[in-house]
Amino acid sequence: MLSAVIFDVDGVLVDSPHEQAWREALAGFADPAGFTTAFYQAHVAGKPRLEGARATLERLGNAEVAAHAAAFAERKQAVIDRLIAEDRFVAFPDAIRLAVALRDTGLRIVLASSSKNADAMLARVILPDRRTLRSLFDADVSGRDVPRGKPDPALFQLAAKAVNVPPSRCLVVEDAPAGIRAAQAGGMASLGIARLGDEALLRAAGADLVVTSLDQLDVAALGSGSLRTRSVEAAHEP
């Protein structure tokens, strides 16, 4: 049976400007034309900033990765700070509906993003009742320093510990293959949300279920440990 649901943030809860920030920051380090959405999803999404910087430079042919990775990561941070301050992101309505529905069923919900910018974004998303999106969650371990980032399970293990739930009773909601692999490594169930037509990547990473909208998840079945989609008719209900 499941007792807690752990949410990544970027690409799951919010349509964040991280991909745009990485691409803008690349000038002078590598050709930004190679930094496609598919590249971002496969090699950068879900990873801590410095690891994402190294992976990007290595794969785009920068000959001095060790010398340039930190500067590239710092430039990306400056860009993302500006984009967040300009409100260049939106929350996904289906993610908000899922978080509210999970709370109504009594399941614990936790935030666990590798990004240190997650709180800054969620605090700027105001719900109809004037609460922030962040306030819906029971705990938040986003941006915590861990020995290794995703696909290592350390961050998700911290999330489970934060609500005192065994990993075997946790479900992770992720949009990145690295996050799916981290959930698997931590002994947790995983739900892949494929917003970018990347269902195959998430399935290949080992996701237990892949959906294209979080409205498709059968929330009522989670309490009995069943991870499945709702009927076609029910999935079109708000």
CA angle 21, 197, 77 (to 5 degrees): 10
- Kindly state whether residues 135 and 35 are assigned to the same domain: no
* End position of a domain, from candidates 85, 113, 138: 85
Least Cα distance to 160 among 177, 136, 185 occurs for 185
131 with 190, same domain: the answer is: yes
The pLDDT, as a whole number, for residue 233 is 46
CA angle 138, 139, 145 (to 5 degrees): 170
Full pLDDT tens readout for the chain, 238 residues: 899 999 999 999 999 888 999 999 999 999 999 999 989 988 998 788 999 999 999 999 998 999 999 999 999 999 999 999 999 999 999 999 999 999 999 999 999 998 888 998 999 999 999 999 999 999 999 989 898 889 999 999 999 999 999 999 999 999 999 999 999 999 999 999 999 899 999 999 999 999 999 999 999 999 888 999 997 545 445 5
Residue 26 and residue 95 in one domain: no
| CA distance between the termini of the chain | 26
Looking at the structure, tell me whether residues 141 and 73 fall in a common domain. Answer: no
Q: Which of 85, 113, 136 corresponds to the end of one domain?
A: 85
Domain co-membership, 127 together with 191: yes
Q: What is the pTM of this model?
A: 0.84
* Burial class of residue 20 in the structure, from the number of CB atoms within 10 Å of its CB (0-12 exposed, 13-18 middle, 19+ buried): middle
pLDDT attached to residue 234:
52
Q: Are residues 81 and 137 in the same domain?
A: no
Q: How far apart are CA 30 and CA 59, in angstroms?
A: 10
Which CATH number goes with the domain that contains 143? 3.40.50.1000
How high is the pLDDT of residue 237?
Answer: 54
Specify the pLDDT at position 41. Answer: 85
Tokens of 130: 């004037």
**CA gap 90, 171 in Å, rounded:** 24
pLDDT of residue 177: 93
Number of structural domains, the chain?
2
- On whether both 35 and 63 belong to a single domain, the answer is yes
| Whether residues 156 and 205 fall in one domain | yes
81 with 96, same domain? no
Three-class HEC string of 102-123: HHHHCCEEEECCCCCCHHHHHC
Domain extent, residue 62, equals 18-85
Residues 219 and 125 in one domain: yes
Q: What is the pLDDT of residue 46?
A: 79
In this structure, what CATH number is given to the domain that contains residue 62? Answer: 1.10.150.240
Q: Is the domain of 102 the same as that of 47?
A: no
142 and 26 fall within a common domain: no
Boundary residue ending a domain (70, 85, 100): 85
